[in-house]
Structure 1
Amino acid sequence: MGLPVSAGAPSAWVQRWSHLLAPGASVLDVACGGGRHVAWFSGRGHPVCGVDIDTSVAAANAPQAELIQADIENGPWPLLHRQFGAVVVCNYLWRPLFPRLLERPMLDDGSVDYAALRKLIDWHIAEGTDCVCVVGTTGESPTVTVDEHCEIIRVAVEQAAGRLPIMAGCGANSTKEAIELARFAKKVGAQCQLQVVPYYNKPTQEGQYLHFKSIAEAVDLPLVLYNVPGRTVADMAHDTVMRLADVPGIIGIKEATGNIDRAQWLIKHAPAGFSIYSGDDPTAIALMLCGGHGNVSVTANVAPRLMHALCMAAIAGDCRAAIALHQQLMPLNQALFVEPNPIPVKWAAARIGLCKGNLRLPLTDLTPPTQVLVEAALRSSGVLV
């Protein structure tokens, strides 16, 4: 399709990422000017909305597009409740635009949405999830109070009502606090606890061993270790894991380093009854095909049925099916970590209608460029149609 000379050619940047858009996905062109991108996307079958203080030239170049005349620097944002598959913003980032793009009314006071939590539990049961872990990294454990932490566990257990196990995140960098959280989780009926390597205070390997051993001895609740040195700084050595595997009540580890050599070593040397779970979605398939036992997943928060199918195929040794599912989920696995977890997955969950997208500081809203990536990944994986 030839463009009028006055429209101009689309920028190389826009052409470079435009292939990520699903067919027919809607596009918002902010400060659309002469309409070069409005016309270009319209010519490729995308419904386009252009916004500018003067849309007369764009109207001449792209008469089929939706054009909105608005002062986006000084006036109210005109599309507060609209959603788009992509947002185009060229040569405009220095002006006071993004605060308005990100601005949205708070539908609550920032308190925990327990009603949404109950709905999420029911949804995961319907989607075939095998176990729900609450108040972990993705569950925003660092930004809840101790009282909220406990109430989230209680509500999750109550809502599950034995229909699926609840793994209660009980980690803390104080052994005393971790024991108190684990005692509460046991009291309200959680089936197991997840205990992360203590963060910030950087315990030695002996300190880590005594920390987890003390929790297991104090609370009779099956304990899954959680090693994620990218967040905790402290790494749990192979030998420490094997020492802890011999402690009664410690039943497995969530290994979130993404290091498959390490995972293979743990799988080979773990005693019977000690499970090795992935905590890294992009490499989970490799861990399970090597003999691992499952995946404590971020991606499963928005694609539980697909992740469940991948896990079942990989654990059964069905490489062909597992690889096909892994390839389907890979764009989502990558997009959900472009910004720190749980920022992208919270936005994705809100995008597909599971919950509100509110976050507590110091977590901030997902940036518009990453929203485009996550949206495209949700569509390419089939989660959003």
Structure 2
Amino acid sequence: MTDPLTSRDRQDGPDLRGHRRYSGVIAPLVTPLDLSGRVPADDVARLIDSIRTEVTALMPTLSSGEGWLLTERQWRDMVDATVRHAGGLPVIAGVQLPDTKAVVARIRLASELGVDAVAVTTPFGAGIDQDGIVGHYRHVLATGVPVLLYNEEAVSGNRIEADTLARICRLPGVIGIKESSGEAEFTRQLVASNLGVPVFEGWENLLSQVPGVHGFIGPLANLEPALCKALWQRPGPELQAQVDAACEKYGILCDDWYLRVKRELVARGVIGTDATAGGSGAAAVPVP
């Protein structure tokens, strides 16, 4: 039997800004695809059902969901299937597109599909300065859809500095930060700064080094959400070693981690193929 939610991962009311309060393990879902490139809604439903008791929200179409590679049709179908099969779990749709205009248009589509919030990167390209990043999020927040900031560099080519994050977090509509800088000291600095929004660690291998984070958002939650939850609740070397072993087993820290997660989900009978938006993977396995 699953343990009831603790006070650290319960969502029992809005934050001081009137938004839903998020904490705990949020699952950045992989995007199931069939061999023709379509999103099978039944696979999405099985994936959600396999983790729902251990997570507090669902996050389709972010990096683990190949958000920057999906066609608009794939993105729409994945978000729609997640909303339809969420069963009461909040849905935070990932938006990873090159420029502010495209991001705003995609957020409006996400709102039409019924999401609770969106997770948004900076614009793509290393030439974006910190003031430009603030301006980007001002436009994004003007949509009225709650936004979780995604601080990463691998896809966008940008990293949001601590002072810039503080500026953005003062804007109405920000609901949290997915902190994927890969630097535990930077994450600890954000937590200590009391930004007024929850900070989520985005790297499994750093989770025990950032006590005080409000939750975890990472690809291992597609496979071992209970283990991720345990380490977040009780950070320490023993559980961290278990998480590190799971990351090694499933290839979580490899560049093609989403493909490797899909292969494990195929082996478990959760999804039907390991096909990816980039075209790699082709193992078709019947699922019940």
Same fold (TM over 0.5): yes
Does residue 356 in structure 1 map to residue 275 in structure 2? no
Map 1:285-324 → 2, pairs under 5 A? 285-287=208-210, 289=211, 291-314=212-235, 322-324=236-238
Distance (Å, rounded) in 1 between the aligned partners of 2:147 and 2:34: 37
Corresponding residue number in structure 1 for 2:28: none
Corresponding residue number in structure 1 for 2:30: none
Deviation at 1:356, TM superposition (A): 2.9
Corresponding residue number in structure 2 for 1:347: 263
Decide whether the 8 Å contact of 2:48 with 2:86 is kept in 1: yes
Corresponding residue number in structure 2 for 1:153: 79
Deviation at 1:254, TM superposition (A): 0.7
Does residue 330 in structure 1 map to residue 244 in structure 2? yes
Distance (Å, rounded) in 1 between the aligned partners of 2:278 and 2:107: 26
Distance (Å, rounded) in 2 between the aligned partners of 1:357 and 1:108: 7
Map 1:181-260 → 2, pairs under 5 A? 181-200=106-125, 202-217=127-142, 219-260=143-184
Q: SS at the partner of 2:83?
A: helix
Query: Aligned AA for 1:277?
Result: F
Decide whether the 8 Å contact of 1:197 with 1:232 is kept in 2: yes
Decide whether the 8 Å contact of 1:134 with 1:156 is kept in 2: yes
Can you list the C-alpha shifts for 1:240-287, whole angstroms capped at 9, x where unaligned?
Answer: 101001000012211112201111111111333x11111111102222
Decide whether the 8 Å contact of 1:173 with 1:201 is kept in 2: no
Deviation at 1:201, TM superposition (A): 5.9
Q: SS at the partner of 1:295?
A: strand
The alignment-based identity, stated in percent, is 22
Corresponding residue number in structure 2 for 1:98: none
State the aligned residue count.
248
Does residue 277 in structure 1 map to residue 193 in structure 2? no
Deviation at 1:357, TM superposition (A): 3.5
Closer/same/farther in 2, CA of residues 282 and 239 from structure 1, 3 Å limit? same
Deviation at 1:196, TM superposition (A): 1.2
Corresponding residue number in structure 1 for 2:24: none
Structure 2: stretches of 5+ with no match in the other structure: 1-32, 283-288
Corresponding residue number in structure 1 for 2:96: 171
Closer/same/farther in 2, CA of residues 174 and 107 from structure 1, 3 Å limit? closer
Structure 1: stretches of 5+ with no match in the other structure: 1-105, 315-321, 367-385
Superposed CA RMSD: 2.1
Corresponding residue number in structure 2 for 1:129: 55
Decide whether the 8 Å contact of 1:110 with 1:358 is kept in 2: no
Deviation at 1:107, TM superposition (A): 6.8
Distance (Å, rounded) in 2 between the aligned partners of 1:195 and 1:324: 33
Query: Aligned AA for 1:327?
Result: A
Distance (Å, rounded) in 2 between the aligned partners of 1:200 and 1:354: 36
Distance (Å, rounded) in 1 between the aligned partners of 2:265 and 2:246: 12
Query: Aligned AA for 2:202?
Result: G
Can you list the C-alpha shifts for 1:110-161, whole angstroms capped at 9, x where unaligned?
Answer: 3222210122122221x42111110011112133211221221122111114
Larger Rg: 1
Corresponding residue number in structure 2 for 1:34: none
Distance (Å, rounded) in 2 between the aligned partners of 1:229 and 1:298: 17
Q: SS at the partner of 2:68?
A: helix
Q: Which has the higher contact order (CA 8 A, sep 6+)?
A: 2
Deviation at 1:292, TM superposition (A): 0.9
Distance (Å, rounded) in 2 between the aligned partners of 1:116 and 1:328: 28
TM-score by length of 1: 0.60
